[in-house]
């Protein structure tokens, strides 16, 4: 027989634990909620023989309880401790962004791997503790015995803040270029941008290739943020200031194309099936066959 007592006065947590302990698919489990001294005590008895499986199942319940009921509070505390100098609007955005990352069901290679292994780290902390102790003050355990898990949340918060700052700089950068474009008149009527395999080819309205500008006064706009190898293509567009840009997508849209669309806005149209598109699709297919 093994008995474990979980102590907490959080009513939502008590309901969560009682409900989820009841779903453990093992015979010979008995549990009760009793008020003793300062705490509500959820006492779990197991009189079966498969103690490792019982501990695994109870660990699942406790680890999930911590993530579902305490993780957002931990994040908020870390945010207020380390990033108090942001204004309230920014703090809410950062917190919302991190919550979105944590709840993401898609394996995104841009996100830190810690997002996907934080549960395992917490699970190991819980199992280690209940394997050696018969009583757990839940809030005390979270504060003093889950430092690896909290360190992961702290690292994920740092990542989210960095992403927030980069995105804000990116938005400011785009706005700066839009102001620049709007302050100038168009220098060119039409430019075709053929986008294939992450590279840009520019054609004039006579479908002649335009040499990409490598050294131009407008290049200082590209000095702080580099999007891809297409920086020179963007610099050329800023020099040409076309009234219309037709983007011929041979390859799917990515960050660079989205940036061009944001900067040049209503001047941009997308094409995927015209003579130019078909020609470059054919050239690209032939190149891939070699």
Residue 218 is predicted with a pLDDT of: 45
Separation between Cα atoms, residue 89 and residue 286, nearest integer Å: 52
Question: Which one of 2.30.30, 3.30.420, 1.10.287, 3.30.559 gives the CATH number of domain 185-289?
Answer: 3.30.420
Residue 289 is predicted with a pLDDT of: 56
Q: 251-254 — which CB contacts under 8 Å span 24+ positions?
A: 251/195, 251/196, 251/197, 251/198, 254/198, 254/228
Q: Residue written as tokens 């297409």?
A: 230
> 220 vs 129, 173, 176, 177, CA distance in Å?
57, 12, 12, 11
Torsion of CA 103, 109, 111, 112, to 10 degrees: 110
Return the domain boundaries, the chain. 50-177, 185-289
Residue 220 is predicted with a pLDDT of: 46
List the pLDDT tens digit at each of the 290 positions of the chain: 899 999 999 999 999 999 999 999 999 999 999 998 899 999 999 999 999 999 999 999 999 999 999 999 999 999 999 999 999 999 999 999 999 989 876 666 677 888 889 999 999 999 999 999 999 999 999 999 999 999 999 999 999 999 999 999 999 999 999 999 989 889 999 999 999 999 999 999 999 999 886 554 444 444 444 445 588 899 999 999 999 999 999 999 999 999 999 999 989 999 999 999 999 999 988 777 55
Residue 33 is predicted with a pLDDT of: 95
């Amino acid at each position: 027989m093994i008995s474990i007592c979980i102590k907490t006065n959080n009513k939502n947590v008590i309901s969560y634990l009682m409900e989820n302990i009841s779903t453990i698919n093992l015979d010979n489990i008995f549990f009760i909620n009793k008020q003793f001294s300062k705490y509500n005590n959820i006492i779990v008895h197991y009189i079966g023989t498969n103690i490792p499986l019982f501990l695994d199942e109870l660990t699942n319940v406790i680890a999930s309880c911590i993530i579902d009921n305490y993780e957002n509070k931990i994040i908020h505390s870390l945010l207020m401790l380390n990033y108090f100098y942001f204004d309230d609007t920014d703090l809410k955005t950062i917190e919302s962004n991190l919550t979105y990352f944590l709840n993401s069901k898609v394996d995104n290679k841009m996100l830190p791997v810690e997002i996907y292994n934080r549960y395992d780290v917490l699970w190991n902390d819980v199992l280690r503790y209940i394997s050696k102790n018969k009583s757990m003050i839940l809030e005390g355990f979270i504060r003093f015995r889950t430092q690896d898990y909290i360190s992961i949340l702290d690292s994920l918060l740092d990542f989210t803040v960095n992403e927030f700052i980069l995105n804000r700089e990116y938005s400011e950068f785009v706005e700066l270029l839009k102001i620049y474009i709007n302050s100038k008149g168009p220098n060119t009527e039409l430019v075709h941008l053929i986008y294939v395999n992450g590279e840009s080819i520019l054609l004039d309205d006579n479908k002649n290739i335009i040499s990409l500008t490598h050294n131009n006064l407008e290049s200082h706009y590209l000095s702080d943020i580099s999007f891809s190898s297409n920086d020179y293509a963007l610099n050329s567009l800023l020099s040409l200031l076309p009234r219309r840009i037709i983007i011929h997508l041979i390859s799917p849209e990515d960050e660079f194309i989205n940036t061009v669309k944001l900067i040049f806005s209503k001047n941009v149209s997308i094409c995927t099936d015209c003579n130019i598109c078909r020609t470059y699709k054919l050239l690209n297919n032939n190149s891939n066959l070699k």
